[in-house]
Amino acid sequence: MVQIYETAVLGGGCFWCLEAVYQEVDGVFSVESGYSGGQVPDPSYEQVCSKTTGHAEVVRIKFNPARLSYREILEIFFVIHDPTTLNRQGNDIGPQYRSVIFCQSPEQERTARAVVAELQRQGIAPVVTEIAPATSFYRAEEEHQNYYRLHPNQGYCAFVVAPKLEKFRRTFVQKNAPIQIRGCQRFYSAVSQFNSCPTATSPTVAVTCMAEP
């Protein structure tokens, strides 16, 4: 049976953080860490960190649009990173950590611009997230794939990735249907919230428990 999927490419700080979150979302087939938006073909991590290639650290997400919409992908994105800091996420500073959405279609661009407009109407400003057309994606080195799963006790993972992952588990931005955490029994429903500080207190959420299938 042929699986139908769509692709999203997002950058919002260190790719380890985004990868860890989207790996838990039901409807996601795969998440790859990599580099996009630069001028040097197939750059290394060291080259990207030199801030001279123009690339952003990104994740490429393949997802089932029948189970997870692109809008929901973006709503998660804006919860787990700060879209108001230019070329920076916390102590990670540089253009490789910029907030960016690489749109794979005109429809994705329209959705991205609509979500950003909603953020601004809610008073989240300035939103510096770059909305750009799709460009080449270069898969990062193997040591950067599945990083949090393989190294949960590593310092950066424990103090930076884990709080973002926990915030994702507690706070969902949604409009119509709940987003299910893969491997979890709970659906979390929350009113539209775009407070992107990973250490902020989560809003009260309605939790519905369901039996394991």
Domains of the chain: 6-209 (3.30.1060.10)
Q: Amino acid identity of 152?
A: P
Our answer to whether residue 14 is catalytic in this structure is yes
Catalytic residue, chosen from 14, 17, 103, 157, is 14
**What would the pLDDT profile of 144-180 be if each residue is shown by its tens digit?**
999 999 999 999 999 999 999 998 988 754 433 445 5
71: which DSSP letter? H
Structure tokens at 65: 């649009």
Can you give the pTM of this predicted structure?
A: 0.81
User: 106-121 and 70-80 are packed helices; what angle lies between their axes, rounded to 10 degrees?
Assistant: 40
pLDDT at 9: 98
Report the chain's mean pLDDT, rounded to a whole number: 83
**What would the pLDDT profile of 21-64 be if each residue is shown by its tens digit?**
999 998 999 999 999 999 999 999 999 999 999 999 999 999 99
Quickly tell me which residue has 């919860």 as its tokens. 79
DSSP-based three-state secondary structure for 209: strand
**What would the pLDDT profile of 129-147 be if each residue is shown by its tens digit?**
999 999 999 999 999 999 9
Please give the sequence-ordered ranges of beta strands (E in DSSP) within the chain, or none if there are none: 6-12, 28-36, 56-63, 88-89, 92-93, 99-103, 130-133, 137-139, 179-180, 186-189, 206-209
